Structure 1
Amino acid sequence: MYETCLSVNCTVKDLWDGVSWKWPLELLDRHGVVLGSYKPRLIANVADVVKWKDRQGRLKDFGADLAWNEIKQCRKVVGWADWVWFHQNTLRHAFILWLAIKERLRTREKLVSWNIGDASECVFCKKHLESHNHVFMDCDFSKDIWNSFLALVNLDGFFVDIVDKDDGWARFIKISSIPCKKSCWNLIKRWLFGAVVYFIWQERNYRIFQAKERKVDGICSLIKDYVRLKMLGADIKKGRMYAQALRKWGFKELDCEDGQKIE
């Protein structure tokens, strides 16, 4: 508007004479095909409205969300989407988990391949190359954290098919791509998966950038407290399954909606 000297109070009537448009030359040079494609029908004493024509040619009230959904590139929804982006998630956990699943975190393996820095070993074990697969799945440090929680979400033996495999992280993602059912256990699993990945990556960064170090027990305590707090505030049916989950996570003396008391 500023570059073309159009007034902020300019109306359609000021630019349309009933036959043709009177756009400034600057706009015609840039967007002439678009600007001249529509011929409005002026109605006296009616305020201008902004409309958007969708892919089916239907005119709708303009909105940024509508425009974005029309112009964005649509792709098939990935199987793990519900494990990352879901109601009641924690956004910072979801963001790190999303980057990890897409293998976009700046692990030392990636940095060395970009000729950034010389260190390539894992900050936890100081033996192996720090890749997504190693730091989240194959390192003994990460294994200890996972194994501390798997029984709490009924996933005993979860690592049998993925640990110590070259593609363990890929197998983990494949398991995470199994469709989620709407149950409190699946909600707890999603909170747990996001929290474990987030706190492992946080601990990795603490050791590199702040020279701070926490033991496995300390990180497990943080994860457990986080999941327990989410369970207390969860928007979820508080029935028998919820009562079972509360028992397993160490809660006592809590009433559920079906009258069952946790002792």
Structure 2
Amino acid sequence: MLQLKPTITEFLRCAVGDGRDASFWYDSWTEFGQLITFLGETGPRQLRLANDAHVLDASRDGNWALPAARSENSQALLVALTETPAPNDCNGRDSYFWRNAAGDYRPTFSSKETWEQLRLHSPVVPWADVVWFKQNVPRFSFIIWLALLNRLPTRDRLRGWGMSVPTACVLCSNGTETHDHLFFTCPFSSELWGFFAAKLFPSPPTALLASSAWILTHSQPHTVKATAIVKLLFQTVVYHLWKERNARIFSASQSSAVTLRRSVDRTI
């Protein structure tokens, strides 16, 4: 039995009715998918059907009308067509069906289900629920997501790319600016995070990944509201620290710890 590699065309199938709409070569209307792929570039010449032919063009008087096979694949197609009814006006128009997540073909299209089948699934990271949750603020989630992946353009990364930039943290003027330093080894950021987090749960850690794990350990059903608040707080603090860091570098403006604390408080 012939084994075919999965292609994007397998997500869309055509059920032939009168054969007037379905493309003979480019629609997936047989078990072989796109026939132009199955038979190759010489297919139209082998079957004496133009590239723009419709399925109806391969029939005559209600029967299939194709020349003798000239290759193994064309022979397989002719055999398959012996069990496939030829186009007929009584069958109505050709219909198209999309494959859903269960592998069934339905007349409705879902971009979500199609994308879930196309994309490569990676293991869920342990901090996913700290980044993406019902009450999240998208711009905050985006920054915390980059921070947890160590993908923000911190000074250590910029120097790694060959850029000539200072190494010192602009928030505290001590230590090299890295993700670990900014969140929350830096005294400035540590004070801001600790001031708010300690009001919700005891002994908040002063490291980014450790903080995300700490939040999840307090995610209990009876503390749903508190958990949502501490997640928002976590994201808000990281967002404002990154925003303050950029303002000091690019705008030469500087907010005090008290001012930044008020900004976080208003945002929450």
Is TM > 0.5 for Structure 1 vs Structure 2?
yes
Equivalent residue number for residue 133 of structure 1: 180
Which stretches in structure 1 are left out of the alignment for 5+ residues? 1-10, 228-263
CA distance 1:97–1:12, shift in 2 (3 Å)? farther
Equivalent residue number for residue 37 of structure 2: 32
Equivalent residue number for residue 149 of structure 1: 196
In 2, Cα distance between the equivalents of 1:199 and 1:73?
33
1:80, CA displacement in angstroms?
1.4
1:75 aligns with 2:122: yes
Matches within 5 A, 1:1-263: 13-14=19-20, 16=22, 21-23=24-26, 32-33=37-38, 44=89, 46-54=92-100, 57-60=103-106, 61-153=108-200, 155-159=201-205, 163=206, 168-178=207-217, 180-182=219-221, 183-227=224-268
Q: Deviations over 1:73-110 (max 9, x none)?
A: 11222221111111121100111011111111010010
In 1, Cα distance between the equivalents of 2:172 and 2:158?
18
CA distance 1:78–1:12, shift in 2 (3 Å)? farther
Asked if the contact 1:79–1:179 (Cα under 8 Å) also holds between the matched residues in 2, the reply is no
Which stretches in structure 2 are left out of the alignment for 5+ residues? 1-16, 28-32, 44-76
CA distance 1:197–1:23, shift in 2 (3 Å)? closer
1:170, CA displacement in angstroms?
3.4
Three-state SS of the structure 1 residue aligned to 2:19 is: helix
1:46, CA displacement in angstroms?
4.1
Q: Which residue type is aligned with residue 208 of structure 2?
A: W
1:31, CA displacement in angstroms?
6.0
CA distance 1:47–1:187, shift in 2 (3 Å)? farther
TM-score with structure 1 setting the length:
0.66
In 2, Cα distance between the equivalents of 1:52 and 1:179?
42
CA distance 1:104–1:22, shift in 2 (3 Å)? closer
Q: Deviations over 1:211-259 (max 9, x none)?
A: 11001111111111111xxxxxxxxxxxxxxxxxxxxxxxxxxxxxxxx
Q: Which residue type is aligned with residue 14 of structure 1?
A: R
Asked if the contact 1:145–1:196 (Cα under 8 Å) also holds between the matched residues in 2, the reply is yes
In 2, Cα distance between the equivalents of 1:221 and 1:67?
45
In 2, Cα distance between the equivalents of 1:195 and 1:34?
58
Q: CA RMSD in A?
A: 3.4
In 2, Cα distance between the equivalents of 1:180 and 1:31?
54
Q: Percent identity?
A: 28
TM-score with structure 2 setting the length:
0.65
Q: Deviations over 1:150-193 (max 9, x none)?
A: 2321x23223xxx4xxxx33323433454733411101101100
Which deviates more from structure 2 when the two are superposed, residues 127-136 or residues 34-43? 34-43
Q: Which residue type is aligned with residue 94 of structure 1?
A: S
Asked if the contact 1:101–1:173 (Cα under 8 Å) also holds between the matched residues in 2, the reply is no
How many residues align? The count is 203
In 2, Cα distance between the equivalents of 1:66 and 1:55?
6
1:43, CA displacement in angstroms?
6.8
1:145, CA displacement in angstroms?
0.4
Q: Deviations over 1:114-172 (max 9, x none)?
A: 1112311101122211000101111110011012212321x23223xxx4xxxx33323
